[in-house]
Structure 1
């Protein structure tokens, strides 16, 4: 148990004193860039999926045999 407490203590010390953190303003700006890119990418994937879905639907409507009513 003492090893676990020592590990946590040393990890906290490392994060507090030896890690160079990104300034808050830059972190906010980069977060907005990631959000914007994610939304644009999701819309692009949705658009491509819609186009392919419609193309496949159209193809199957052409090759589907007509049903004969009896």
Structure 2
């Protein structure tokens, strides 16, 4: 039991004195950046998918006559 208490005390010391926590405003900015980048990525992938779909559709139809 002594080792568990020692571990918990050391963990508390580590988390409160040695860890550098990011400021809330910085977290908000990073989250917004990730959201915008994800939306742009989704739009690009959607556009590529649409173009491949239409391109392959045109290609297959060109063999049907």
Q: Same fold by TM-score, threshold 0.5 exceeded? A: yes
Query: Residues 57 and 14 (structure 1 numbering): CA distance in 2 closer, same or farther, change over 3 Å?
Result: same
Larger Rg: 1
Higher helix share: 2
Match of 1:43 in 2: 43
Query: Residues 46 and 15 (structure 1 numbering): CA distance in 2 closer, same or farther, change over 3 Å?
Result: same
How many residues are treated as equivalent by the alignment?
Answer: 64
Deviations 1:29-69 (A, max 9, x none): 010000000001101100011001100011011123x5xxx
Distance (Å, rounded) in 2 between the aligned partners of 1:38 and 1:2: 48
Displaced runs of 4+ in structure 1, greater than 6 A? none
Q: CA deviation at 1:15?
A: 2.7
- The DSSP-based 3-state class of the residue aligned with 1:32 is helix
Gaps of 5+ in 2: none
